[in-house]
Amino acid sequence: MGILDGKAIVVTGAGRGLGEAYAVHAALAGASVVVNDVDADLAERVAENIGLHGGRAVASAHTVADPSEAEKIVDLCTTEFGRVDGLVNNAGLNYETPPWEDDPDTIRRVVEVNLLGVVYTGMAAMRAMREQGGGGSIVNISSGAFLGQRKLATYSATKGAVVSLSSSWALDLEPEGIRVNAVCPVAHTRMVWQSERSLRAIPADRTPSKVAPLVLFLLSDASEGITGQIVRCNGRQLHLVGHPHFKQPILESDLWDTASVERAFTGVLQAHLEPFGLEKRMPPRLRELVEPSRTA
């Protein structure tokens, strides 16, 4: 018996890479799978491969970026398999450029797929789950880039929004028994590594299949009671990512004018400035304090 026996799962962006790994592993674990990808040929190939190995799958070429199309992805699952028990919101676009060279049309496409696509497909899935009596799991694929990464401002912003969205949904859907978690996978895929040569050189611990077991667990009943979490997996490492929080010390004043704000930042708050970005870069003011002591 597989961990997903009897479940019906939708995986978006499943034509290759991480999405294909999630879809194939879900089928091998006993699930019936809707393999969604805007590239119809890729979706059909993955669905056929699942069928050849004894699994159940149907292909969908609808786009998540259109709410009516997103609805059709979920409707296909209920029509073909009778219900929807899980959704993996994986479809996404990458976009790398210095922020001052951002292209508005490309920004719009990235936001429509990476953020609105998650919203539209998630809404359709949660409505279906509620109509069938509640219960189910939504796994939204984010990225460690949501912490901030060079030349990935738009992509990072959408992935940060997915994390916030997941937390809000987790609160709203807990009474319905629907779990919502965000996964930040690290794997070498075509979206990140463009050349065939680099893809052939993928380290064994950075292949998409190394991340799939985490997603399967979150889709399964074994993850009951786990919701609202951000989980990062890079093949070798598995850990939770902390949610933003109000940091101590919290200073109080009857009136914050610019002079008192400056005193706060040159005094107590200066020592508590946060490293920023995925690379945890120190703010210049802190570097100025640390570097002289290193050379002394």
Active site residues: 155
* Residue 18 near residue 189 (C-beta atoms within 8 A): yes
Instruction: Say which residue the tokens 């990935």 belong to.
Output: 152
Tokens of 233: 């997996």
What's the rounded Cα separation, in Å, for the pair 39 and 273?
Answer: 45
What is the phi/psi pair of residue 22, to 5°? -65, -45
Q: What are the DSSP calls for 168-224, one per residue?
A: HHHHHHGGGTEEEEEEEE----TTT--SHHHHHT--GGGSGGGTHHHHHHHHSGGGT
**CA–CA distances in Å: residue 4 to residues 8, 25, 96, 212, 231:** 8, 10, 36, 13, 20
Contact call for residues 46 and 14 (beta carbons, < 8 A): yes
Distance of CA 176 to the CA centre of its chain: 22
User: Under DSSP, is residue 108 helix (H, G, I), strand (E, B) or coil?
Assistant: helix
Three-state SS for 33?
Answer: strand
In the chain, the N- to C-terminal Cα span, in Å, equals: 64
Residue 223, CA distances (Å) to 40, 80, 109, 293 in order = 32, 26, 33, 48
